[in-house]
Structure 1
Amino acid sequence: MKILLVEDDAKAAKLIARGLLEEGFYIDIVSTVAEALAAPLGIYHLILLDWMLPDGDGLDVCIKLRKSKMMIPILMLTARDTVTDKITGLNSGADDYLPKPFVFEELLARMHSLLRRNAYTKVEMITIAGISIQTYTKTVIRHGHRVILTAKEFDLLEMLMRNAGNVISRKEIAQRLWQQDMIGIDNLIDVNIKNLRQKIDLPSQSKLIHTVRGAGFIFEERREIET
């Protein structure tokens, strides 16, 4: 699952991100209200939102998202811990409120609670460059036609699409999808990438999955013919 962390304290953001990565989450970090609102929010399962930000406060993000009918869960993180502050945060659209400083295990428990009870995680659709995946039913549609994938191919495609525009290393794929290091997994990665390309990179359509030599793979639309 992919998390958007909105936090302007670089040290705190790094610590939170490191812990969540170890728990199997994908993390994007932004540090301002403007960056949060400009992010592709539809790809995230949950937002961890600091109240006090350089260009405003987290309440602005909550209010704007709820006015736009976006129901992605929001967990507000802040040093403001009075009862009035909590009520204000929840009334602005936050789903939960965790005062700083907090124990990481409590953050994790609250995140899992929100993800379990929120219907958003069951209906999520990710659409990029003419291909759509439904993460609950595990269906894939490209230009109106259903694409049949194996479970591992779907997981690989979802991982690439959630990180569209960013290079994903072989090591990260091995650890995320097989929970192993590269030994014995490298060939499996190549086989699944090859099969995935054959199924979604059709001759008459833009290429979507690309190899970045020495680095890994990237999901992005490229219209040029590759050699």
Structure 2
Amino acid sequence: MRVLIVEDHEELARTVAAGLRREGMAVDVALDGAAALERTAANHYDVVVLDRDLPGVHGDEVCASLARAGHPARVLMLTAAGTIDDRVTGLALGADDYLPKPFAFAELVARIRALARRSQPALPPVLVHEGLRLDPAARIATRDGRRLALSPKEFAVLELLLSARGAVVSAEQLLERAWDEFADPFTQTVKVTVSRLRRKLGDPPLIETVQQAGYRIRAGA
């Protein structure tokens, strides 16, 4: 899952981003509305966490611009003002959810995950394939009852492959969805991560390489 944090309070933005990365998300940060519009024009995001009270380009205009452009990201709007009128206005502009400040970090994580599920085709809360079981909310993956010690990136790649339901996912798509904007597209990052994931999953092999296309979960593994 890839998330954009748009918050002009830099310390808060960096703190929230660090916490979300610990939850296994790929996170970018924009400190103003103009930067947010640049990033959303260039990248695919599942969720945009948007502070309403931004300097320069106001959060309302960012939200409205994303709605007009048909950007697929779900928008979670944050604001220090928590009146009903504020919430109604934000939702009318195209926001999908609303969270007043201050907020509990656990609630922020839960709302982001809920919005991300809504941005994708309907999936069960726990992904199961043969003996493999992956619970994105609990961050637990097992195979044949054996707990898998996966890194955040390995977990994210496995979740993306399972969510594709047997369809091929390209290395570019994995890089876009599981890493942030600082990932170098010319490195072997995806290949190395998939290789480590294969070793941890064990036999019989679950991840198939499709030449010149990408990776997929092997049918009938």
1:49-107 CA-partner distances (Å, limit 9, x unpaired): 00111213111011111122234210001111111111111111111110111000111
Matched pairs, number: 162
Instruction: Give secondary structure in 1 for the equivalent of 2:99.
Output: strand
Q: TM-score, normalised by structure 2?
A: 0.61
- Per the alignment, residue 97 of structure 2 pairs with 96
Which structure 2 segments of 5+ residues have no match?
Answer: 123-159, 201-207, 214-221
The CA deviation string for residues 168-191 of structure 1, in whole angstroms up to 9 with x for no partner, is: 796xx759x74xxxxx88xxxxxx
Equivalent positions of 1:41-52 (< 5 A) are 41=41, 43-52=44-53
1:22 is aligned to 2:22? yes
The residue matched to 2:120 in structure 1 has which SS? helix
Question: Among 152, 166, 172, which residue is 2:183 paired with?
Answer: 166
CA RMSD of aligned residues (A): 3.6
For 1:138 and 1:72, locate their aligned partners in 2 and report how far apart those are by CA, in whole Å.
Answer: 24
Normalised TM-score (structure 1): 0.59
Contact 1:46 1:115 in 2 (8 A): yes
Cα distance change of structure 1 residues 7 and 138 upon mapping to structure 2, 3 Å threshold: farther
Aligned: 1:136 with 2:164 = yes
Q: Which residue of 2 aligns with 1:121?
A: 120
Task: Select the residue among 175, 181, 199 that pairs with 2:211.
Answer: 199
Per mean C-alpha deviation after superposition, the further-off stretch among 33-42 and 101-110 is: 33-42
Q: Distance in 2 between matches of 1:50 and 1:121?
A: 24
Q: What is the CA-CA distance between 1:38 and the residue it aligns to?
A: 1.3
Corresponding residue of 2:67: 66
Corresponding position of 2:140 = none
Q: Report the residue type matching 2:44 in the other structure.
A: I
CA contact (8 A) 2:46 2:72 kept: no
Cα deviation for residue 165 of structure 1 reads: 6.2
Gap change, CA 1:72 and 1:161, over 3 Å in 2: closer
Answer whether contact 2:44 2:73 (CA < 8 A) is retained. no
Work out the CA distance in 1 between the residues paired with 2:8 and 2:77: 13
Aligned-partner Cα distance in 1 for 2:81–2:31:
18
Structure 1 unaligned blocks of 5 or more: 124-132, 141-153, 179-183, 186-194, 202-227
Aligned to 2:113: 112
Q: How far apart are the structure 2 equivalents of 1:15 and 1:155? A: 31
Q: Which has the higher contact order (CA 8 A, sep 6+)?
A: 2
